Structure 1
Amino acid sequence: MTIVTCIFLATLGLIFNPSSAQLSLDFYENSCTPLPDIVHDIMRATLNRNPRMGASILQLFFHDCFVNGCDASILLDDTDFFIGEKSTPPNKDSARGFELIDTIKSEVERFCPETVSCADILALAAREAVALLGGPFFEIGLGRRDSLVASFNSVAGQIPSPSFNLPQLIASFEAKGLDYRDLVILSGAHTIGRARCLRFRNHIYNDTNVDPDFADSVKVLCPINDNDDENLPLDFQTADLFDNLYYVNLINRRALLHSDQELYNYGTPVDRLVELYASDMDAFFGDFADSMVRMSSMNPLTGFRGEIRRDCRRVNFLG
């Protein structure tokens, strides 16, 4: 086989196997130069007004990536053809930030029409949320394309539940090609954000691995049969600051969620990681950046798969 033939076949392989295309740090360098500044400026203005939105965007990105990859399927509204991911129990009552992604997308379209995917916008917005709230800034590969469909049924079992125990949490991450280290690291995102009483009441009232004084203080705010929708910060000390106090809280048995406290109970290597990040914020920041990049690269649509949506809420053929 000649060298020319090999090159020709390799090129055909790339054309007909677009999933082999890789994400790139400079994907929009020539096609949409202002993209990073647009995302940064809108996220900064938003978080200055409402820092809670940072955690919402970060959660939106996690929930998108954990269901069939980082493809912006979570952003799709229901249609006559499918009931999407927004309507599922893990998202219906807690997923927020859709309007913010719409705002960013509209501004990006003004400068770079039909060029930047909603999946990449969500990835960049999540990166900015972390950095603007005091966490690490990290480079993130771009070039994702947007899903043509979302499925209510595809969400089942893919997003870790607040009621999961440690083996279930590890298994849910391993199913995505991530390991127990990624579990501990990415759970550190709970250093920001809030949760509804409904999500943690059983942990506070019935689990034995909870600091009694902490439990009593939470019970005042979340009575046993009332205030299901009351939102409490996952980190009471610095609710809107991205730091490492989440891990300190785990060691002190002051986690709000059962699934979080499961990361510090059993004297395993998981415990050792929690202790490392509780004592060394730089180690946490560095490893968090690496894990975010790994998660953001899970099964992206690239090449000729998917599309670049004009509107993040609907596929192009619907208008």
Structure 2
Amino acid sequence: MLKTVAAVLIDGFAPFEFGVLCEVFGIDRTDDGVPAFDYLVCGEHPGRPLRTNLGFDMIPPHGLDALAGADLVGVPAATMRDSYPPAVLDALRAAADRGATLMSVCSGAYVLGAAGLLDGRACTTHWRYVDDFARRFPLARVDPNVLFVDDGTIVTSAGTAAGIDACLHLVRRELGSAPANAIARRMVVPPQRDGGQKQYIQLPVPECTGDSLQPVLTWMMENLAVEHSVPALARRARMSERTFARRFGTETGTTPHRWLTRQRVLHAQHLLEDTALSIEEIARVTGMGTGALLRHHFRQIVGVTPKDYRWNFADRTGAPSA
């Protein structure tokens, strides 16, 4: 259960990436049905100012001893250096040893790497730092092509926006899709990006033209039960198939099939939580077709079976049938 979240700051930390952790875990959103998190900002010396990488100071109110009760320990980006505070590394290792989940945002992965926590683990960091990261931590299995990596008790993410994705993924993993989507709505960010999407795409900001795919994406979301083919989607977008495929990758960082499968699984999560529909009925409503296909993709993306997911996250107050 995700209850207590501790953010660990060191000199040279990035306030924007730290703000990602604050935005997801530090704001009371109980009015939106999100469980309250006990959010702790920690440093080696509580009450002593730490300089950000933008040149101003912040004062962490809690010491490293606060990590002892944290379910999640977040490490925001910080200026890279040859060594990191030994006390911080010891505290992170102790948190990992007792079973806490650790998550880094962007170059925060360097701190986890320096603590030896990424040896033999799948991980990622910002694409600009991947080569240097691999040289410094040769035992880490770094993937430069993803937004974030969930390796169980270690979650690492790429740049700032990918940090948001990783945080929402953790909320979804631990608490279900309803709290994750509620936070995403308040932040006005999409809740559907999965970690396997490309970290760096050809045009990070789509061109300001009239042929954006957003209307097509919206239509696909509203018609998940419909069979969608690339030729049909290209016709709807009034593009050639080749142009459509290229632009889809540019705007979403993934393929039409993978994007659509992810949306269908997300919708299945909602239905498993909030309705009493059978697996076969959910497969039909979401466009998966059969329960077997739904189970296959659901387990591949979410990590558990639809039945186990419903057991953990279904509304026990009496879910409606439709």
TM range (shorter): under 0.3
TM norm structure 1: 0.24
Structure 1 or 2: more strand by fraction: 2
Structure 1 or 2: more helix by fraction: 1
TM norm structure 2: 0.23
Which of 1 and 2 has higher RCO (CA within 8 Å, sep 6+)? 1
